[in-house]
Amino acid sequence: MRARQPRLATRLMVAQAIVVSVGAVTMVIAAALVAPVLFHDHLVHAGVTEPGVQLHAEEAFASSFAISVAVATLTSLAAAFVVSLFLVRRVSRPVEELAHSAQEVAVGRYDVDVPDATFSRELQQLSGSFSYMADRLAEFEATRIRLLADLAHEIRTPLATLEAYIDGMEDAMLPVEASSWATMRTQVMRLRRLSGDLREVAAAEEHALGLALERIDARSVSSSAVAAALPRYHAKGVSLAEEHPAQPCWISGDDVRLQQVLANLLDNALRHTQAGGTVRVVTRSTQARVSISVTDSGEGIPPEQLSSIFERFHRVDRSRTSNDGSGSGLGLTIARAIVMDHDGALTARSDGQGHGSSFTVELPARP
């Protein structure tokens, strides 16, 4: 069993006592060796040559010197002790409180009362950083719990469908025909899509996507994504148009990943736009930024949900879920993580339900 270590305050007080004691002893020894010799030399230079007078003066000097040094040493030791005690308490107390808070955080209690250590800039910075860390851990824990709950909800529907079809086919309640197998295959595809999207989210948020950055024209990224999405838009009867400037819009990015971002945004727009609606993809460029906006005339987003639209499994209408495996609720989360890995930003704007929505990717321009 390891021996219990002394407290920080005890170590600091011992260290201060050693420093002050060494200083006091050094001063006394130096003064005792130097002062009498100098005093004797001054007497000689002053013309005091009688041995009796010299002896009396030196004894008086030695007596007063010893008393003065003793009083000064004791006073300085007392003052040093008081000041050291004050400093040690101001330093050790917040450190001990932070250590206690760290133990609370270690066992999962993130709502700890972190002391505001204002004694020094370093301690104040440490206290602020620890408080920020505790808040972030609390957010991560809440996100983890919500993720597990949402994941269980997302998995439950396809599993329940598969179980119902298997039971129905075993009990001869459902025909063993192509439509039954197609429904089951669709649910398997939905589970596979969910698994892949979860893997993408984890890699993106851990900055482990392995981006292959190169100088590319944002117009070509936009055009390629639009061309890939056109057949799906035609099948649903939604108009898809693009607009971009005549001059190149150079950026530094991963072409495949950026097309994945636009594909997710276009799929999201198609999912929330009824037949006969329109979706426009507009590319703009300034000296510092390049933006690509995907604007639809669809359902729109309530103002209170704009801040949470990029969270995992978020849906504007919780009562509506996709049963075809086309939407796992992770597309916007993946898109934002990829854009942030490009030192960019992905924002959403909407005037409310029934007024459509617009998602804008902003990336640094590359001259």
Domain of 358: which CATH number? Answer: 3.30.565.10
Question: 192 and 269, same structural domain?
Answer: no
Residues 246 and 275 in one domain: yes
Quick check: is 115 in a domain? no
Residues 226 and 199 in one domain: no
Task: Give the pLDDT of residue 179.
Answer: 82
Q: Answer yes or no: do 169 and 105 share one domain.
A: no
Highest mean pLDDT among 53-67, 139-153, 278-292: 278-292
Among 109, 129, 157, residue at a domain's last position: 109
For the stretch 242-281, pLDDT in tens is: 999 989 999 999 998 899 899 989 998 998 899 999 999 9
Q: Is residue 26 a part of any domain in this protein?
A: yes
Q: Is the pLDDT of residue 304 over 70?
A: yes
Would you say 267 and 229 are in contact if contact means Cβ atoms under 8 Å apart? Answer: yes
Q: Which of 186, 205, 224 is the last residue of a domain?
A: 205
Least Cα distance to 333 among 156, 158, 190, 143 occurs for 143
Highest mean pLDDT: which of 14-18, 32-36, 266-270, 303-307?
A: 266-270
In this structure, is residue 337 part of a structural domain?
yes
Kindly state whether residues 104 and 151 are assigned to the same domain.
no
Per-residue pLDDT, 4: 58
The pLDDT of 142-167, averaged and rounded, is: 77
15 phi-psi bin (left φ>0, alpha ψ -120 to 50, beta other) = alpha
pLDDT above 70: percentage of residues in the chain: 79
Residues 94 and 187 in one domain: no
Residues 150, 256 within the same domain? no
- Statement: residue 311 has pLDDT above 90: no
- Is 20 a residue whose pLDDT tops 50? yes
Greatest mean pLDDT among 21-35, 37-51, 199-213, 227-241: 227-241
Q: Does residue 287 lie in a domain region?
A: yes
303 domain residue, yes or no: yes
pTM (2 d.p.): 0.56
Residues 249 and 154 in one domain: no
Report CA-CA distances (Å) from 69 to 16, 30, 39, 74.
20, 11, 16, 8
Distance from C-alpha of 221 to C-alpha of 363, rounded to nearest angstrom: 13
Looking at the fold, whether 191 and 299 belong to one and the same domain comes out as no
- State the average pLDDT over residues 300-327: 62
Whether residue 219 sits in one domain with residue 198: no
Give me the numbers of helices (H) and strands (E) for the chain, helices first please: 7, 7
Q: Are 220 and 198 part of one and the same domain?
A: no
Give the position of tokens 């040559």.
49
Range(s) of the domain holding residue 59: 8-109
Number of domains in the chain: 3
Q: Is residue 122 situated within a structural domain?
A: no
Domain finish residue from 151, 185, 205 = 205
